[in-house]
Structure 1
Amino acid sequence: MEDIRAYIETGILELYVLGDVTPDEKLQVEEMAKKHPAVKAELDEIGRSLELYARENAVEPSEALRDRVMGSILTNLADDNNFPEKPQHVNHKVVELTARKESNFYKYAFAASLALLVASTIALVNTYSRLKNSNDQLVAMQLQNQHFSNRVNLMDRELTIFRDPSFKLLKLQGTAKTPASVVTLAFSPAKQKVIIDMGNVKLPENDKDHQYQLWALVGGKPVDLGVFDAKTDSTDMKEMKSIALADAFAVTLEPKGGSVNPTMDQMVVLGKF
């Protein structure tokens, strides 16, 4: 197999396709192509490459040159009389010239360079493809690690809240407007913290012009605790505004940024201790 590869890399196949080989070399290439599929495949590939190169670099002849050639063909082929009569034989002294011995060095060097260029291009494309695949895998692994890290941090926060006796868990149930809605929050009067478990929020997803607003009911009066968005892919623990006392909590749907007072007919969940 190494001999076949070495034979291919000599550049003889490129010269064969270009028609720049001796009759013996032509016969040798054809015999090798019959015996070895690798040689036949390489010949086909070189032929396709040269055909593509010729097609992409073809030069359209000018109109003047085309008219001149066609006129010459039609003139000479239409009437044999246009050709000059066969000249009388004149006995000239013939001096035999010594034929210049051609060197195959440059044509083989060119063919070898062409083969090297094709091989280098293929190797470069393959290397780029492998590098891109490796980079895509690295980015995917980084995203996966970041997601895993975020999930671990979230679980740590949840455990901290569940193990802290100062926090009380409260599940706000849906109203007649949205009976299937649920919001779970943790409230610590001692630390004056209110935290919403966004991973367990079940609310219709709000549009870009509206947000949900959390209210604490203190002595029958609503106190603004901030706004949030209901996202189906959210898993975070969202800390709201601080408050020390609350008799109940409610959520309403308000214009983006929140309202000074709750819109009562837009209340979606309510819960009290």
Structure 2
Amino acid sequence: MDINNYINSGILELYVAGALSDEENKEVYDVMLKHPEVLNEVLQIEAAILKLTEATAPKDAILDFNPIANKISSQTDTDTKVVNMKAEKLRSSWLSVTGWAAAVILGAGLFWAIQQNSELQSKIKVAETDKEFLEQQIEIADTDLKEAKHLITILRDKDILAIPLGGQAVYPEAYAKVYWDKATNSMYLDAQGLPEPPEGKVYQVWSLTLNPLTPTSLGTLDDFMTDDNKIFAIENSNASEAFGITLEPAGGSESPTLEQLYTLGTVASVS
């Protein structure tokens, strides 16, 4: 038994207040016999009740019953009845005070128990929230792993065309790569080599035919800033001969802004 936890459980206050069952009282009594610190704690609680009683009792109250006994012996029967009534009133007052003190101790013990239960419930809720968060992270990781395996399978497919897009005059250090499956009209763009777009700007991907030069928008990379791996799935059913990426105003443009052409690569350049 953890004696400190037992002392702090509030059961000793209930014992002193007389709020326990006979079986519980016997249990506390047995513990007091085995553990002097528990007995000492009970004595301290009782002492606290006495101090509380003294603090709440009238300042001029006299609890010496000897003068009352002398008064009784010198009075008539009628007077005796009056004195007995006063004594009974004093006894009732004393019981009222001690009962009130016991109620305070009982209330304190119950408040402590309620507070401990509330703290326990809070810890349980935190644990449940942590468990749910962990399960979500595991689910996300599992999904990411499946997507990564799927992407690796696609990139290793011998029928996939890999088209590198080199940096252009506006940003020579830029680069990207297109993985295009003509059979399924699906395409993956690896845009890891592009810098972060300025606020209010967005990258736009273009499919190009060269003669005559005809651009067709394949959409904007709206999630560029939040996508960690910078790999984007794009539908492309065009007879593309080249691919380019430009920097456009948010929402995209109907035609590419050539002055903001970041990368460009032709299908024929595949090695």
Q: How far apart, CA to CA, are the structure 2 residues paired with 1:247 and 1:260?
A: 19
1:209/1:126 Cα in 2 relative to 1: closer, same or farther (>3 Å)?
same
Identity of aligned residues (%): 23
Q: Offset at 1:187?
A: 1.1
1:182-201 correspondence runs (5 A): 182-197=175-190, 201=192
Code of the residue aligned with 2:264 in structure 1: it is L
Q: Is the 8 A contact 1:253 1:263 kept in 2?
A: yes
Alignment equivalent of 1:125, drawn from 118, 131, 134? 118
Q: Offset at 1:183?
A: 1.8
Q: Offset at 1:37?
A: 7.0
Code of the residue aligned with 1:138 in structure 2: it is K
Q: Is the 8 A contact 2:13 2:106 kept in 1?
A: no
In structure 2, the gaps of 5 or more residues are 18-35, 53-74
Code of the residue aligned with 2:257 in structure 1: it is T
1:174/1:232 Cα in 2 relative to 1: closer, same or farther (>3 Å)?
farther
Question: Would you say how many aligned residue pairs link Structure 1 and Structure 2?
Answer: 207
1:118/1:144 Cα in 2 relative to 1: closer, same or farther (>3 Å)?
same
SS in 2 for 1:157: helix
Between Structure 1 and Structure 2, the one with more strand by share is 2
Q: Offset at 1:38?
A: 9.0
SS in 2 for 1:132: helix
Residue aligning to 1:211: 202
Alignment equivalent of 1:178, drawn from 158, 171, 182? 171
Q: Is the 8 A contact 2:12 2:42 kept in 1?
A: no
1:174/1:11 Cα in 2 relative to 1: closer, same or farther (>3 Å)?
farther
Code of the residue aligned with 2:187 in structure 1: it is V
Q: Which moved more, 1:174-183 or 1:108-117?
A: 108-117
Q: Offset at 1:195?
A: 1.7
Residue aligning to 1:264: 258
- Give a deviation string over 1:76-95, Cα, whole Å, max 9, x none: xxxxxxxxxxxxxxxxx894
Residue aligning to 1:8: 13
Q: How far apart, CA to CA, are the structure 1 residues paired with 2:218 and 2:11?
A: 79
* Counterpart check, 1:246 vs 2:237: no
Q: Offset at 1:148?
A: 0.6
* Counterpart check, 1:150 vs 2:140: no
Q: How far apart, CA to CA, are the structure 2 residues paired with 1:251 and 1:124?
A: 61
Q: Offset at 1:120?
A: 2.4
Q: Is the 8 A contact 2:203 2:221 kept in 1?
A: yes
Q: Is the 8 A contact 1:9 1:112 kept in 2?
A: yes
Q: Offset at 1:222?
A: 1.9
1:261/1:7 Cα in 2 relative to 1: closer, same or farther (>3 Å)?
closer
Q: Is the 8 A contact 2:14 2:106 kept in 1?
A: no
CA RMSD of aligned residues (A): 3.8
In structure 1, the gaps of 5 or more residues are 13-31, 51-92
1:1-273 correspondence runs (5 A): 1=3, 7-11=12-16, 36=40, 95-96=79-80, 97-98=83-84, 99-100=87-88, 101-102=91-92, 103=95, 106-107=99-100, 110-197=103-190, 201-207=192-198, 209-219=200-210, 220-229=213-222, 230-231=224-225, 233-235=227-229, 237-272=231-266, 273=269
Q: TM-score, normalised by structure 2?
A: 0.62
Q: How far apart, CA to CA, are the structure 2 residues paired with 1:122 and 1:113?
A: 14
Q: How far apart, CA to CA, are the structure 2 residues paired with 1:118 and 1:234?
A: 51
Q: Which moved more, 1:230-239 or 1:218-227?
A: 230-239
Code of the residue aligned with 2:176 in structure 1: it is V
Code of the residue aligned with 1:240 in structure 2: it is I
Q: TM-score, normalised by structure 1?
A: 0.61
Q: How far apart, CA to CA, are the structure 2 residues paired with 1:211 and 1:39?
A: 77
SS in 2 for 1:216: strand
Q: Offset at 1:164?
A: 2.2
